[in-house]
Each structure stands twice: as structure tokens, then as C-alpha cells.
């Protein structure tokens, strides 16, 4: 991945000037059922497009050797995001470039993967300074994740008493019409629209919501440039109520099946504010998520190199063991200002679970406290506000360039 090689103050100004914009959600007719909206519907002509940058996930490294080689030079991607809402629903349209359409089905091999996208929402965002950790939330700060993968056919494992349909067709003892009927029954049992809702409190804790209490709809369509995707959901459901807010945070992720993308092999955005155009009470969140750092990034780099680099790797700083601590190479791309400040001051406020604790025993990212709570192995590093501001200003420049 490309990181900043020149450390001139001017280049920091240039990158930080591209601070995230908000997504302005446009009000549409209450009579429209937004769960039925498709990517090419006219309704989107009213919406305002925002460019949201999605950065390669580099906080942890996955253990798939071939995939790691394929993804070593990943750059950031830009997605065009539109949002509309009415009194019942909110809907997003997300467009991103992808040179190849990768969909999987029951004939896919063990090393074929589907393209996909996900929309992540915090279940609580009353304090914009304390949003959930961007990677699947964090303990006490859960997120809702809506995921769609380009899957043509998929079968749930024996959940629907369809055992008779699991038999290989060659073993059915059926011929002609009987075999055709068997094939049809099997194909009817398939799921061809793979969309899921999950709730999570950090890596690995993601659990599927099966109670129908998260009402949402997703859709993906491909043309030769890339994907257009839709995600719509009720403003209020059993997990999240957006109806009373003037704005809410959203984060996006996309997967590229051609590069063996799945799970952590993805590009993701930071928290982005979605601002309802006719609702009040949006100022604090929008201000927090669009603020530009005030610190001195050049001074911050010197601080980071002495205080962070012995455990964290980033850019060309690879002094530490790679599994020692979260890799910061794209931390500026997918972190909020407030998260970075909080993590420096109070590392245990949000503890990134990181690797399975069995996978890298000598470089645990946390220990367990008396009540089983995670205590970060990172001590609070700085208390001087100026130093923190400078360091955060530098960390926010750490991100891959846009392709």
C-alpha cells in the first residue's frame, strides 16, 4: 500500500483537507415504499451524491497466504453514496468500481469468493465522541451490520427439514420426470439472495439476527463498471431507532471476490454522518465526524515514531513484530478523530480484540481484568493535549491513496 513518503507540512494539509463530507439524506414522498426501491429508479435523481472513501483493512492480517499476496498493494476505493428517507424508511444507494463480477454458487471451488457490501450502524450514537469501534463495534458499543454477498445459490445447513433433498442426485434412484421433480425441489430450497443482519461487539462476536426484528432490504446489481447496491431499512426497528435523530453515523465496507475478499479482506470507510435534511439535532454529530484536526502533523510524526512505532507498524515503520499491536497503516482512513484521542488517552476504553488469543499468544492485545473485562496491553501514552492533538493529526494522514 502506498503511504505518504514526503513529510512536508503541505502534503498533510492536502490530505486532511479531504476530510470526510457528510451524506445528505433527501426527504421523499411518505407514500413510497423504500424497501422496494431499485438502483435505477428515478427517485434517486433527487438525491445528493457524496464521495466516501473506503480504505483497505490493515489493522489485522489474515492467515491466507495467497490472499495476502494479492492484497498487499491495495489502494483506497471511492464509493458514491446517496441517501433518501421518508417517515418510515431510509435507503442508501452505493456505487463502487469493480472490474470483475464475482458471484458464488454451489459449484464454486474452495478458493472462489463473492463480491459483497455491508452497511454498519451503531445501535447507540448519543455521544458522538464515543462511537463503536469501526471494526465490528466494541464491548458495550454494539453495531448492526447489514451484509449482502453476490451469491447465486446457497443452502442453509439442514435447518428446514430438507434432509431428503440433500442426497446427491445420482443416489436418488429417480429417473426422467422423477429426477426433474427432485432437481426442482432442490433448486426451490436454495437461497439466491444472500442478505443478512448481524449484531456485533467487536471482531469475532458477530451474531446473526434471526428474529425478524431488524427490517431491511438489500440489492446488488452489476454493470461493466462496477456494482450498484441498495440498502434500505425501517427508521425504527427492534435494534435501532433513527426516527428521533437529526443525523446518524454509518460506515460502509465492500469486498472484492477476485482478490479473495471476505471477512477482514475488505475496504471500509470511517463513520460518516448521514444528515436528515429536514430534521434538527444533527449539529454535534456532523461537526464531530467532519472536523479537521488542529494539531501539527509534522510534530505528531516525531511523537508517533518515538512513542507508537515500537509496538505499532505503519507505512514504512515496521520495527515492531507484526502481530504486536493493531497495524496503523490505514488508521487515518477508517478512524474518527475522537476514537484516536480516546485510544491514546485511555487505551482500555475500546479494546480491539484482534487475533484469536490462541493464534499469537506472545503478543496478546489485552489481558482479562477481575470481572473478565478486557484491559489493553497498551498503557495510556500521553496526557498533554497538544501532544495528543499533534499525534492525532499525524495518524489521520496514515491512509492509502485512492485508486
- To another protein, the closest distance from the beta carbon of 401 in angstroms equals 26
- To another protein, the closest distance from the beta carbon of 8 in angstroms equals 37
Is the Cβ of residue 234 or residue 337 nearer to another protein in the bound state? 234
- To another protein, the closest distance from the beta carbon of 154 in angstroms equals 6
Is the Cβ of residue 115 or residue 288 nearer to another protein in the bound state? 115
- To another protein, the closest distance from the beta carbon of 322 in angstroms equals 9
Of 77, 98, 198, 112, residue with least CA distance to 147: 198
What distance in Å separates the CA atoms of residue 240 and residue 121, rounded to the nearest whole number? 9
Choose which of 7, 319, 359, 368 interacts with another protein (CB under 8 A): 359
Choose which of 216, 271, 339, 365 interacts with another protein (CB under 8 A): 216
Contacts of 53 (CB under 8 A, 6+ apart): 18, 20, 76, 77, 78, 79, 269, 333, 402
Binding positions for another protein, 64-83, rule CB under 8 A:
64-66, 68
User: What x/- string results for residues 292 through 331 when contact with another protein is judged by CB under 8 A?
Assistant: -------------------------------x--------
Q: Considering the rule CB under 8 A, would residue 199 count as an interface residue with another protein?
A: yes
Is the Cβ of residue 149 or residue 301 nearer to another protein in the bound state? 149
Segment interacting with another protein, rule: CB under 8 A, options 71-79, 279-287, 359-367, 376-384: 359-367
CA 195, 197, 202, 204 dihedral sign is negative
Of 77, 34, 61, residue with least CA distance to 234: 34
Q: Considering the rule CB under 8 A, would residue 152 count as an interface residue with another protein?
A: no
Contacts of 175 (CB under 8 A, 6+ apart): none
Q: Considering the rule CB under 8 A, would residue 155 count as an interface residue with another protein?
A: yes
Choose which of 7, 73, 238, 287 interacts with another protein (CB under 8 A): 238
Q: Considering the rule CB under 8 A, would residue 161 count as an interface residue with another protein?
A: no
Buried b (16+ CB within 10 A) or exposed e, 228-252: bbbbbbbbebebbebeebbbbbbbb
- To another protein, the closest distance from the beta carbon of 231 in angstroms equals 12
Q: How many CB atoms lie within 10 A of CB 264?
A: 21
Choose which of 6, 45, 107, 161 interacts with another protein (CB under 8 A): 107
Contacts of 161 (CB under 8 A, 6+ apart): none
What distance in Å separates the CA atoms of residue 76 and residue 334, rounded to the nearest whole number? 11
Annotate 73-128 with DSSP letters as a single string: T--BEEEEEEEEE-SSEEEEEEEEE-SS---B-TT--TT----EEEEEEES--SSG
Binding site for another protein (CB under 8 A): 62-66, 68, 104-111, 142, 151, 154-158, 166-168, 170-171, 195-197, 199-201, 203-217, 238, 262-264, 323, 355-356, 358-362
Amino acid at each position: 500500500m502506498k503511504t505518504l513518503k514526503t513529510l512536508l507540512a503541505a502534503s498533510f494539509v492536502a490530505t486532511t483537507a479531504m476530510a470526510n463530507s457528510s451524506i445528505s439524506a433527501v426527504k421523499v414522498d411518505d407514500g413510497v415504499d423504500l424497501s422496494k426501491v431499485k438502483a435505477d429508479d428515478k427517485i434517486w435523481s433527487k438525491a445528493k451524491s457524496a464521495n466516501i472513501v473506503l480504505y483497505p483493512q490493515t489493522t489485522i492480517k489474515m492467515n491466507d497466504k495467497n490472499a495476502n499476496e494479492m492484497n498487499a498493494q491495495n489502494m483506497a476505493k471511492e464509493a458514491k453514496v446517496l441517501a433518501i428517507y421518508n417517515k418510515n424508511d431510509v435507503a442508501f444507494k452505493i456505487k463502487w468500481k469493480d472490474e470483475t463480477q464475482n458471484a458464488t454458487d454451489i459449484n464454486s471451488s474452495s478458493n472462489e469468493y463473492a463480491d459483497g457490501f455491508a452497511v454498519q450502524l451503531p445501535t447507540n450514537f448519543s455521544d458522538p465522541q464515543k462511537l463503536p469501534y469501526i471494526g465490528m463495534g466494541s464491548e458495550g458499543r454494539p453495531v448492526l451490520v447489514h451484509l449482502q454477498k453476490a451469491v447465486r445459490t446457497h443452502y442453509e445447513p439442514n435447518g428446514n427439514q430438507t434432509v431428503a433433498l440433500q442426497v446427491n442426485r445420482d443416489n436418488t434412484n429417480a429417473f426422467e420426470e422423477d429426477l426433474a421433480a427432485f432437481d426442482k425441489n432442490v433448486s426451490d430450497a436454495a437461497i439466491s439472495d444472500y442478505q443478512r443482519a448481524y449484531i456485533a461487539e467487536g471482531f469475532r462476536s458477530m451474531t446473526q439476527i434471526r428474529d425478524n426484528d431488524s427490517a431491511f432490504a438489500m440489492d446488488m446489481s452489476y454493470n461493466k463498471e462496477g456494482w450498484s447496491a441498495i440498502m434500505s431499512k425501517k427508521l425504527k426497528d427492534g435494534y435501532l431507532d433513527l426516527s428521533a435523530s437529526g443525523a446518524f453515523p454509518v460506515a460502509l465496507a465492500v469486498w472484492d471476490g477476485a482478490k479473495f475478499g471476505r471477512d477482514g479482506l475488505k475496504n471500509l470507510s470511517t463513520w460518516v454522518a448521514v444528515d436528515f435534511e429536514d430534521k434538527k439535532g444533527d449539529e454535534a454529530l456532523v461537526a464531530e465526524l467532519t472536523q479537521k484536526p488542529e494539531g501539527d502533523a509534522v510534530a505528531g510524526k516525531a511523537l508517533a515514531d518515538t512513542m507508537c512505532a515500537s509496538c505499532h507498524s505503519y507505512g514504512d515503520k515496521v520495527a515492531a513484530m507484526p502481530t504486536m499491536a493493531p497495524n496503523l497503516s490505514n488508521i487515518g482512513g477508517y478512524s474518527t478523530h475522537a476514537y484516536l484521542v480516546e485510544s491514546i488517552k485511555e487505551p482500555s476504553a475500546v479494546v480491539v480484540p484482534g487475533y484469536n488469543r490462541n493464534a499469537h499468544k506472545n503478543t496478546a492485545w489485552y489481558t482479562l481484568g477481575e470481572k473478565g473485562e478486557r484491559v489493553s496491553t497498551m498503557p495510556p501514552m500521553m496526557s498533554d493535549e497538544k501532544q495528543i492533538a499533534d499525534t492525532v493529526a499525524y495518524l489521520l494522514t496514515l491512509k492509502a491513496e485512492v485508486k
